[in-house]
Amino acid sequence: MNKSWLRSAILFALLTSGCGLVETPNELMRAPSSDSDQKSINQAIMQYLPAGSQLTVPLNPDESSAVSLRDLDADGIPEAVAFYKTEKNDYEIGVLILTQNKGHWEKLTSFSNIGNRLDFVQFDDLTGDNQPEILIGLGAGDDLNKELSIYSLEQGRLQEQIKLPYSVLAVGDLDQDGKAELAVIVHDHDKLVSTLHLYGVTDQKMTKLAEQTLDGHVNGYDQALIGKASHDKNGLFIEAGLGAHSASTDLWIWEDGKLRNPLARNNSEMEMTFKPYPLLSEDINQDGLIEIGIHTQPPGTEDLPMYAIPWIASYFQWDGKDGLAHIEDHYQNYDFGLDFRIPDKWAGKFTVANEPQNEPQMTTFYYYQEATGEKLPLLTLQAVPQQEWSKAAEKWEQQQRSYVILKEGGKTVHVAIQPEMPSKMSASTREVYSSMLLSTEEIRQFYRPLQMPL
């Protein structure tokens, strides 16, 4: 997949964590039952890794690790599965599987496949035999489709069940039958054709349940995700890049034995989920439902060039019919590495502005009357380099400014600076403005750090 459209919008896209090489299995494993178990697994893995090898972490899903404990043969005893790369060959990913024998870890098998990037690893039962298959996706470059291999452990031997090309993929219970489905999206850049393939369990075999043509004229696909689209329906959320930096989200549900897109546009209508920059779907408010992210422009910024607009990340849920319901808004700044949820009491009465004249740069939220253009500061967010923090704090204390430290660790200190009450305003404005000011507890509640995209 060509991700140049993502690179141009990297300050706006929320990407998954990167793949890295590591020296030991420590802190990279789905935790075993005790410290002694972890120590023995660590020792065994390092013993059986080829010379000059290092463990590598899959790019996806987010919770993936370099070492996983999984009961691959359903005998009640987990196997250890480790992924590694060697210094000699940058285009080869290795897999090491250890089994337990009388309390000791022994090598069951190891193998390698061609690829310079471990894109995807997941363990799911895709055949209905109550044993998890190993799904391993490898990539060879941004302009190429990746390759998914699915393995199962049968009578002590690892068997490859199927090999599939993909641009993005997702695993989850889309049809809500209690079993996992595999959704594979393949985009052919040359032929401008995109296809969604849905696989599931039929008679203890992985079979194709459906095939759906997608828009082949997109620039690329960045994410596929299966999760709850509403309280009674699961959905497949597919993120597509449309141009140099714009994007959209497709939603597919399983209904009456086939795939349906409830948000499909009619003829020349603009896509309901069009966004000027990538913004991935996620459960932003932790309510168990997936929200679709769409950028909205703050009022009063109409004269700014597109790159300078302080976009608001607005999140919506499928309404169960053919529309979207607004859930909440966030200001997300990837330069600063912070996320600030917009308080509900600010809705329709605020704007936001970056302050490039300040060093370090600030972002300020304002009470804003669009009809009159009146602006009054509500809150300023700033990321201060650690080496400048003492000087900045001293200046604010001398000025008797109120501020809240949000994050102290790392290279920067995140701080929220509370405004002084303006001396001149009408009584009606004072009442509304005062009600919009935030307490220290509210500021902390609405803030969270963001991981910088790689």
The type of residue at 35 is D
Helix (H/G/I), strand (E/B), else coil: 326: strand
- Helix, strand or coil, per DSSP, at residue 36: helix
Dihedrals phi, psi of 33, to nearest 5 degrees: -75, -20
Residue 242 backbone phi and psi in degrees, to 5: -100, -25
How high is the pLDDT of residue 18? 34
What pLDDT, on a 0 to 100 scale, did the predictor assign at position 313?
Answer: 98
Q: For residue 38, give the DSSP letter.
A: H
The architecture (CATH level 2) of 24-166 comes to Beta Barrel (2.40)
Per-residue model confidence (pLDDT) at position 357: 65
In this structure, the number of other CB atoms found within 10 A of the CB of residue 43 comes to 13
pTM greater than the 0.75 cutoff: yes
Question: d(Cα 135, Cα 414) in Å, to the nearest integer?
Answer: 39
Task: Dihedral sign for Cα 299, 265, 173, 29, please.
Answer: negative
Q: 40 — phi, psi (to 5°)? A: -70, -35
Q: What is the DSSP letter of 346?
A: G
Strands (E), 203-257: 205-214, 220-228, 234-241, 247-255
Please confirm whether the linkage preceding 360 is cis (ω < 30° from 0).
yes
Q: Strand 374-385 vs strand 362-369: parallel, antiparallel, or unpaired?
A: antiparallel
Task: Report the C-alpha gap between 23 and 188 in whole angstroms.
Answer: 37
How far is Cα 131 from Cα 279, in angstroms, rounded to an integer?
Answer: 35
Within the chain, what is the greatest distance between any pair of CA atoms? 81
Q: What are the extents of the domains in the chain?
A: 24-166, 167-336, 350-449
- Common-topology check for domains 24-166 and 167-336: no
Q: Give pLDDT, residue 410.
A: 87
**If we measure between CA atoms, which residue out of 161, 139, 166 comes closest to residue 150?**
161
- The neighbour count for residue 27, using CB atoms within 10 Å, is 10
Q: CA angle, 94 as apex, 90 and 99 as ends, to 5°?
A: 160
For 159, phi then psi, to 5°, come to: -115, 130
Whether residue 345 contacts residue 327, with contact meaning beta carbons closer than 8 Å, is answered with no
318-377 confidence digits (pLDDT tens): 999 999 999 999 999 988 899 999 999 999 999 999 877 666 678 999 999 988 889 999
What single string gives the DSSP state of each residue in 44-74?
HHHHHSPTTEEEE--SBSTT--SEEEE-TTS
pLDDT at site 37: 73
Give the model confidence (pLDDT) of 198-207 as tens digits. Answer: 999 998 889 9
- Please tell me the predicted confidence (pLDDT) of residue 87: 82
Burial of 328 (0-12, 13-18, 19+ CB in 10 A): middle
Q: Among 266, 210, 270, which Cα is nearest to 242's? A: 270
Fold of 167-336: Methylamine Dehydrogenase; Chain H (2.130.10)
| Ranges of the chain whose pLDDT falls below 50 | 1-24, 26-27, 31-34, 454
Q: How many CB atoms lie within 10 A of CB 269?
A: 8
Collapse the DSSP code of 113 into the 3-class scheme (helix H, G, I; strand E, B; otherwise coil) and give the result: strand
Q: What span, in angstroms and rounded, lies between the C-alpha atoms of 301 and 416?
A: 22
The continuous run of DSSP H or E covering 396 comes out as helix 386-398
Question: From CA 329, how far away is CA 395, in angstroms rounded?
Answer: 32
Question: Measured between alpha carbons, how far is 228 from 250 in angstroms, rounded to an integer?
Answer: 14
Nearest-10 Cα torsion for 213, 273, 341, 405: 60
Q: Side chain identity at 240, as an amino acid letter? A: A
Q: What is the pLDDT of residue 440?
A: 97
Which residue bears the tokens 């302080």?
A: 310
Alpha helices in 400-454 (DSSP H): 427-436, 440-446
How many residues belong to the chain? 454
For residue 409, what pLDDT is reported?
Answer: 86
Residue 124 Cα to chain centre, angstroms: 20
